[in-house]
Amino acid sequence: MSINSVTLVGRAGRDPDVKYFESGSVVCKFSLAVNRRSRNSDQPDWFNVEMWGRTAEVAANYVRKGSLIGVSGALKFDQWNDRATGALRTSPIIRVDRLELLGSKRDNEAPMGGNYADDEF
C-alpha cells in the first residue's frame, strides 16, 4: 500500500498562470503561501501548485494573488536538465485535484465559496 496525499490551506502568492493547449486541455500554475503553525515563525512555507481541466479553469477565473484557498492532491517532482550545466534538476509540485475557494466576495471582488474537483485524471 502507498499513499501520496497533500492538503493545504493558504493564500495564492501570485495570479494564476494559465495555458490552453490545442488538444483542449488547460493547465493552471501558481504559488501558494501556507503559514506554519508555530509561535516563532513569521515566514510562510511556499508551494508550487498545478491544476488541470475544470479545476484549472475555475482557478483561472476566481483565484487572484492573496486569495484564500484550500487544495488537495498529490506530490510530484518535475525533472529537467539544466541548460547551463546539463545537471539533472528537480522541483516539487502539488498536483491539485480538488480546489476550495475559501475567501469572501469582499476579499477579491469575485464570487467565492465552493469546491471544485478535477474530473480529468
State phi, psi for 32 to the nearest 5 degrees: -130, 125
Grid cell at residue 76: 510530484
- Delimit the domains of the chain by residue range: 6-116
At 41 the pLDDT is 66
Of 94, 110, 109, the residue nearest 31 (C-alpha): 94
CB 93 within 8 A of CB 49: yes
pLDDT in tens, 79-105: 999 999 989 999 999 999 999 999 765
At 43 the pLDDT is 83
CB 29 within 8 A of CB 17: yes
Q: Could you give the C-alpha distances from 12 to 45, 105, 109, in angstroms and in order? A: 12, 16, 15
What's domain 6-116's architecture? Beta Barrel (2.40)
